[in-house]
Structure 1
């Protein structure tokens, strides 16, 4: 095999397994959008896979990141969130599924500050992942706050990494 093709293949596989970074709302960030379908249209522009990172940029005290069940998302019921943080930050999904994000501030969800993001399964890397000791050390990083969604409503266990700005 030609060496330049091998290098291109390795770079492509590395890029796929590391995941991409997306700023929710692009330049607008995470706020009450100009139209109720703004964030659905934003998400439709991209193909998200496991290990991709969503960056939530917003002014502290004005918005938050709230994760809901599909049912609560559809009705904008933020009284029983699966996860919530008042801080801007990043979310990396480590499993394939849909995560339902909104802002719990009064009226924000109803005005369209909500987005459902589906993460597809990422292709498997060509070589084995880090050893368990390396993986455990990475999970203990103070900059990353991993958590698991454990919800009877969802019926699933998920591992998502959240890093606050």
Structure 2
């Protein structure tokens, strides 16, 4: 009986790890891709998505007619293409987020940046999985509970086009970015199964 419980604990731990280590691919501009006048403005597209470390942006455009430049904030604001941090030019460019914070992208084609072909993406900080359960004396109860993000694709659309939607304003801490609902659901099923065995 004790070995069965240990095995179930290991299985549950594995499920939590798998659910928390998902990374997403985001197609910039959805079906339009990286173009001068997308159906949905890039600022709106980025604003309704949630990006995390290890997620990737995929820029689709005609090779040779455009490019994507990763720049700093000042060069983004000035549409300065002279000294990019990175240049993506193959028409099917992938940029993977390796840390949290803001990332700035502009078009490398002519004056497209000045005409609005540019993008800011803010990548969420990595959650601390060793959070204390109770708030510190200096923080209020409402500031102690942080919102949790759950990956749930927009209905009727493939998940690779959309990022996780924000969870309710107060939720229990997640296991590093995976879907807490999935983990909890699998846990309940597992414990029900164990109870029947």
Fold conserved between structures, TM > 0.5 = yes
The TM-score with structure 1 as length reference comes to 0.64
Unaligned runs of 5+ in 1: 127-165
Picking from 27, 34, 37, the partner of 2:31 is 27
The TM-score with structure 2 as length reference comes to 0.55
More strand by share: 1
- The correspondence of residues 1-165 of structure 1 with structure 2, limited to 5 A, is 11=15, 13-34=17-38, 38-87=41-90, 88-123=92-127
Q: What's the Cα RMSD here?
A: 2.8
> How many pairs does the alignment contain?
124
Tell me the SS of whatever aligns to 1:66: strand
* 1:98 CA drift (Å): 1.1
Distance 1:109 1:12 in 2: 42
After TM superposition, the structure 1 stretch with the greater mean CA deviation from structure 2, 39-48 or 11-20, is: 11-20
Unaligned runs of at least 5 residues, structure 2: 131-197
Q: Name the larger-Rg structure.
A: 2
Name the CA distance, whole Å, in 1 between partners of 2:31 and 2:11.
33
CA distance in 2 between partners of 1:57 and 1:21 (Å) = 12
Q: Deviations over 1:107-150 (max 9, x none)?
A: 11011111011111234689xxxxxxxxxxxxxxxxxxxxxxxx
